[in-house]
């Protein structure tokens, strides 16, 4: 098996705390990017048999650098972040081993805690004011800011100036954002490279597709497939059929589309408990089924299960007083379709939040006839998590993306 390609393999190139290398002690690194925060977050899981971490006397705001990649991809993901908090517990299998969980965060978070904004605004564009606050109070040890679209109009005037009095930088930015004049609400976030302030509509109209991902009938079965690195390992879709003008619900509205598999898809109806198996090409299903099952444990392949819910809510009348699951569906029907996919880290390295990806998903009857369902196509990446394990497991390196469409 060592001669085959490994689409979910990865490598931690370097990890340092306070400049001291701890690469060999890191079991897992996770990095999170989101459209909802103007800074990045991350987590390290450290297995320490030598009392190293305790001797380093790590405290909040200590610098942590890490970099990883996933050959044959030549792109390297690297970030410098800072300790937010750390916890430890003893290993359940070895009394001499300590397991540390270290939460990391971008330095803009600490800059916000340590600064107060005192500024007058006299006939200035709101976007210019926000850019100045970021550069003056938040950019230290963090990224620059990109503001590709300037807001219309001005805040304050030469004779009657507005002011920001003793406010934390993020609070001051949020206050100014309320006065920005765009064709849609503004969004302030940090992607892999830089901080961004843009109208929400700009993300949908000006960001192309970073990468195309394919949900295969059997993920991992063909070791020589050049597209194996773009294979979708897991896809979970939340969509309400009402958004497509197709009336009240129906089992065609997919709730979950899970791991890919053996020449067919199992469809499970949550309400009625009905499980059916669609195998359009039974003749080759049996021949390949044994091979698929023999390698599934090696590369993570398992039956592709689509769970559907035949009862959905009308978008305009979805009640908020239902049980927890009903509330979830109500929120989904109001917010529009969302998609979560997990892919090998090779392709994940090319993606970041605020930009688009193209997903090719299996329809409920399989992909033998070239069809794709209405969830396929362009999506905007809202959240992303890169996850890399350094121990000996089959699936070591993946990227999970939460995506949205314009009806959100």
Q: Are 29 and 44 in contact (CB under 8 A)?
A: yes
Is 310 exposed, middle or buried, given 0-12, 13-18 or 19+ CB atoms closer than 10 A? middle
Residue 296, pLDDT above cutoff 80: no
Mean pLDDT of 16-35: 96
Please determine, for residue 346, whether its predicted confidence score (pLDDT) is greater than 60: yes
How far is it, in rounded angstroms, from Cα 66 to Cα 168?
Answer: 29
Asked whether the predicted pLDDT for residue 104 surpasses 80, the reply is: yes
* Contact assessment for residue 278 and residue 264, using Cβ atoms and an 8 Å cutoff: yes
Measured CA to CA, the distance from residue 401 to residue 379 in angstroms comes to 10
31 bridge partner residues: 42, 386
* Pairwise CA distance, residues 69 & 77, whole Å: 6
Inter-residue contact 207 to 355 (CB < 8 Å): yes
- Residue 322: pLDDT above 70? no
pLDDT reported for residue 376: 80
Share above pLDDT 70 across residues of the chain, in percent, rounded to a whole number: 70
Is the pLDDT at 130 greater than 60? The verdict is: yes
pLDDT in tens, 148-186: 999 988 887 777 888 898 999 999 999 999 999 998 889
CB atoms within 10 A of CB 377: 15
| Backbone φ, ψ for residue 331 (5° rounding) | -65, -40
Mean pLDDT of 56-63: 95
What is residue 290's predicted lDDT score, i.e. its pLDDT? Answer: 38
Quickly state the pLDDT bin for 276 (edges 50, 70, 90). Answer: very low
Domain annotation for the chain: domains and CATH numbers: 11-107 (2.40.10.10), 111-201 (3.55.50.10), 206-404 (no CATH)
**Looking only at Cα atoms, what is the longest distance across the chain?**
82
pLDDT of res. 161: 82
What does the angle CA 248 – CA 250 – CA 256 come to, to the nearest 5 degrees? 125
Which pLDDT tens digit goes with each residue over 228-242?
888 888 888 765 433
Average of per-residue pLDDT across 342-361: 92
Picking from 101-105, 108-112, 120-124, 144-148, which range would have the lowest pLDDT averaged per residue?
Answer: 120-124
Query: In 3D, which of 192, 105, 173 has the Cα closest to residue 134?
Result: 173
SS3 string of the chain? CCCCCCCCCCEEEEEEECCEECHHHEEEEEEEEECCCCCCEEEEEEEECCCHHHHCCCCCCCEEEEEEECCCCCCCEEEEEEEEEEEEEECCCCCCCEEEEEEEECHHHHHHHCCCEEEEECCECHHHHHHHHHHHHHCCCCCCEECCCCCCCCECCCCCCEEEEEECHHHHHHHHHCCCCCCCCEEEEECCCCEEEEEHHHHHHHCCEEEEEECCCCCCCCCCCCCHHHECCEEEEECCHHHHCCCCCCCCCEEEECCCCCCCEEEEECCCCEEEEECCCHHHHHHHHHHHHHHHHHHCCCCEEEEECCCCCCCCCCCCCCCHHHHHHHHHHHHCCEEEEEEEHHHHCCCCCCCEEEEECCCCCCCCCCCCCCCCEEEEEEEEEEEEECCCCCCCEEEEEEEECCCC
pLDDT at 148: 95
- Say if residue 333's pLDDT is above 80: no
Q: Are the C-beta atoms of 179 and 155 separated by less than 8 Å? A: yes
Is the bond leading into 158 cis (omega within 30 degrees of zero)? no
**Contact (Cβ atoms closer than 8 angstroms) between residue 64 and residue 82:** yes
Give the pLDDT score at 221: 63
Highest-pLDDT range among 20-34, 158-172, 257-271? 20-34
315 versus 107: the higher-pLDDT residue is 107
What value does the mean pLDDT of the chain take? Answer: 76
pLDDT for the residue 226: 74
Alpha-carbon distances, residue 174 vs 127, 136, 155, 189, 331 (angstroms)? 11, 16, 14, 12, 25
Task: Pick left, alpha or beta for residue 141 (phi over 0 → left; psi -120 to 50 → alpha; otherwise beta).
Answer: left
Choose between 263 and 160: higher pLDDT. 160
Q: Is a pLDDT exceeding 90 seen at residue 364?
A: no
Which of the residue ranges 72-81, 164-173, 179-188, 331-340 would you say has the lowest mean pLDDT?
A: 331-340
pTM, rounded to two decimals: 0.76
* Whole-number pLDDT of residue 237: 75
Mean pLDDT of 196-217: 88
């Amino acid at each position: 098996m060592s001669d085959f390609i490994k689409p979910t393999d990865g490598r931690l190139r370097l990890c340092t705390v306070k400049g001291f290398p701890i690469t060999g002690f890191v079991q897992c690194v996770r990095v999170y990017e989101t459209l909802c925060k103007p800074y990045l977050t991350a987590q390290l899981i450290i297995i320490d048999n030598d009392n190293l971490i305790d001797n380093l006397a790590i405290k909040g705001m200590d610098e942590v650098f890490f970099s990883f990649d996933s050959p044959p991809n030549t792109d390297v993901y690297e970030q410098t972040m800072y300790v937010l908090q750390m916890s430890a517990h003893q290993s359940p299998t070895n009394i001499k081993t300590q397991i540390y969980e270290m939460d990391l965060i971008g330095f803009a978070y600490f800059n916000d805690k340590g600064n107060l904004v005192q500024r007058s605004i006299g006939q200035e564009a709101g976007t210019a004011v926000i850019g100045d606050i970021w550069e003056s109070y938040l950019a230290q040890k963090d990224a620059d800011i990109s503001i590709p679209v300037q807001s219309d109009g001005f805040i304050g005037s030469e004779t009657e100036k507005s002011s920001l009095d003793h406010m934390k930088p993020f609070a001051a930015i949020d206050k100014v954002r309320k006065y920005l004049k765009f064709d849609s609400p503004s969004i302030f976030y940090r992607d892999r490279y830089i901080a961004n302030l843009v109208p929400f509509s700009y993300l949908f109209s000006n960001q192309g597709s970073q990468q195309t991902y394919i949900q295969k009938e059997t993920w991992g079965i063909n070791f020589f497939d050049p597209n194996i690195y773009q294979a979708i390992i897991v896809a979970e879709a939340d969509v309400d059929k009402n958004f497509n003008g197709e009336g009240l619900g129906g089992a065609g509205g997919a709730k979950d589309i899970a791991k890919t598999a053996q020449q067919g898809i199992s469809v499970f109806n949550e309400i009625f408990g009905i499980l059916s198996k669609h195998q359009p090409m039974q003749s080759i299903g049996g021949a390949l089924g044994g091979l698929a099952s023999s390698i599934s444990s090696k590369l993570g392949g398992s039956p592709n299960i689509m769970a559907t819910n035949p009862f959905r809510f009308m978008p305009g009348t979805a009640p908020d007083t239902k049980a927890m699951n009903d509330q979830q569906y109500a929120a989904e029907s109001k917010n529009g379709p969302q998609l979560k996919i997990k892919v090998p880290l090779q392709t994940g390295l090319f993606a970041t939040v605020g930009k688009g990806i193209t997903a090719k998903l299996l329809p409920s009857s399989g992909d033998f006839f070239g069809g794709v369902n209405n969830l396929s196509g362009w999506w905007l990446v809202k959240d992303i998590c890169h996850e890399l394990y350094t121990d000996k497991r089959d699936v070591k390196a993946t990227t999970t993306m939460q995506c949205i469409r314009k009806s959100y």
